[in-house]
Amino acid sequence: MMKQPNTQTLMQWDRQYLWHPFTPMKAWMEKADPPIIERGQDEFLFDTQGRKYIDGVSSLWCNVHGHHIPELDQAVRDQLDKIAHSTLLGLCNVPSIMLAKRLVDMAPAGLSRVFYSDNGSTAVEVACKLAYQYWANLGQPEKSRFISLRDAYHGDTLGAVSVGGIPAFHQVYEPLCFPVDRVAPPLLRPFAGPDAAIAPAQSLTSHAGNLLWQQNIEDLLAQSPGRYAAVILEPLIQGAGGMLMHPPGTLRTLRQLADKHNVLLICDEVMTGFGRTGKMFACDHERVTPDLLCLSKGLTAGYMPLGATLATDKIFDAFYADPREGKTFFHGHTFTGHPLACAVALASLDLMDTRRTLEHAGHLATVMATGLEPLRDHPHVGDIRQLGLVAAVDIVPNRQSGSRFDYHWRIGGELCTLMRQQGLLLRPLADTLVLMPPLASKPQSVQRMTEIVVESVRNVKCVIDQKQELPKP
């Protein structure tokens, strides 16, 4: 292999040859000065210059046990010693079979089949196509439309963009998307203190906002019986839309509405799955079984790309027919059920059991909530919310007025740049700071992380003052 060039050359090549995801490349080329990550150890990342950072967003919401974990590395090596990849089209492979059984055993009761794909977006594509074809196969093709929540994020492929809808990212593609009915999400849940971080469903009461949301969906379903295929949502937390958290009971209510009006329920747990919210799946908080469940990110502990869409017998049976009936699900990717990815997923689930990762994460959630307490009454903090090991801090011009900063000020981004100098890597969602460390982090790392966040928010006024001195673009 080519010898690794020095940091300066790497950065120059990055600017010359790469096109980064979700990135305004002009600004990137002109001023970005990101670290080049070279290695990782547990919850830490190290750049080419040897600087150490806490991986405060689990390498984009997917890492579970930390980096460079011997058991996980070994699982990949063991599989490499047998075979890296073979296809699931017309053949089987060992790890994909074992993982499918494991997922069915642990998923909400009733989910009985696993359809693999490559990532979160494709897991959602598969769910949407299955829901649509389910009704077609039952002879009700007019049940074809989807209901989704505003500010939902389901991925970046066009089907996922159709049911998702973060205007800043996706508006431009609207003409390419299929039409979807969008309903305003339930109101945010206010921060309820350290206890709520572990068992929010028991310790909080529902919002009035829940009722309006419910009414909107009920109206759509009642006005057009026979029109809808499915309702799709991210249960409990809408991630990329701003870590919007639903009041307890929302998911359960939605399950009941879907049953009453005979539509399917699709839960996109790409982010919330595998312990992030304090239970293995967000659905477990409300003992809900969706008809289709989308998984990715934490599925492989953040080691490898892999998606899975789980379905109930009811869905599977609608496709189970003589080939001549034309009910087959004709969908598949080259790397569907990739053996290396499935092998590391299995090893990760073993580790979650033996190390009691969920229990540990519950303890960390308390550390995180306690650490963020000092921000609760801060004049520039609009809201803090947390569920499990997911916390969001909204930075606002003024706590009372409810207004927002000029988007171009990038207050969230500026704060994260400052925190990076303190050894913490975070990626904000606009002006919302997101804290989502690996579930296996050490308590003192989570503690340190909250200290850096609290400190940087205390300095937010300096960042604002700098912005105010700049001329308007």
Q: Using CB under 6 A, list all residues that contact ligand PLP.
A: 119-121, 124, 153-155, 234, 239-240, 268, 270-271, 296-297
Give the whole-angstrom CA distance, residue 7 versus residue 81: 33
Phi and psi, residue 151, nearest 5°: 60, 25
Minimal distance, residue 463 CB to ligand PLP, in Å: 28
Minimal distance, residue 139 CB to ligand PLP, in Å: 31
Nearer to ligand PLP, 155 or 437 (CB): 155
Minimal distance, residue 307 CB to ligand PLP, in Å: 7
Nearer to ligand PLP, 239 or 371 (CB): 239
Give the β-pairing of 145-149 and 180-183. Answer: parallel
Residue 261: closest CA among 292, 210, 294, 219: 219
Number of residues assigned to the chain: 473
Nearer to ligand PLP, 164 or 200 (CB): 164
Nearer to ligand PLP, 121 or 386 (CB): 121
DSSP 158-200: HHHHHH---HHHHGGGGGGSPPEEEEPPPPPPPP--GGGGT-H
Phi and psi, residue 265, nearest 5°: -115, 120
Give the whole-angstrom CA distance, residue 343 versus residue 79: 7
Cα–Cα–Cα angle for 334, 338, 339, nearest 5°? 145
**Contact in structure between 319 and 133 (CB atoms under 8 Å):** yes
Nearer to ligand PLP, 229 or 294 (CB): 294
**Contact in structure between 472 and 281 (CB atoms under 8 Å):** no
Minimal distance, residue 390 CB to ligand PLP, in Å: 11
Minimal distance, residue 160 CB to ligand PLP, in Å: 6
Minimal distance, residue 471 CB to ligand PLP, in Å: 37
**Helices within 6-93 (DSSP H only):** 7-17, 25-31, 58-61, 70-80
Give the β-pairing of 52-55 and 292-295. Answer: unpaired
Nearer to ligand PLP, 298 or 371 (CB): 298
Minimal distance, residue 64 CB to ligand PLP, in Å: 15
Nearer to ligand PLP, 304 or 367 (CB): 304
**Burial 81-106, CB ≥16 within 10 A → b, else e:** eeeeeeebeeeebebbeebbebbeee
Residue nearest to ligand PLP (CB): 120
Minimal distance, residue 438 CB to ligand PLP, in Å: 16
Nearer to ligand PLP, 303 or 409 (CB): 303
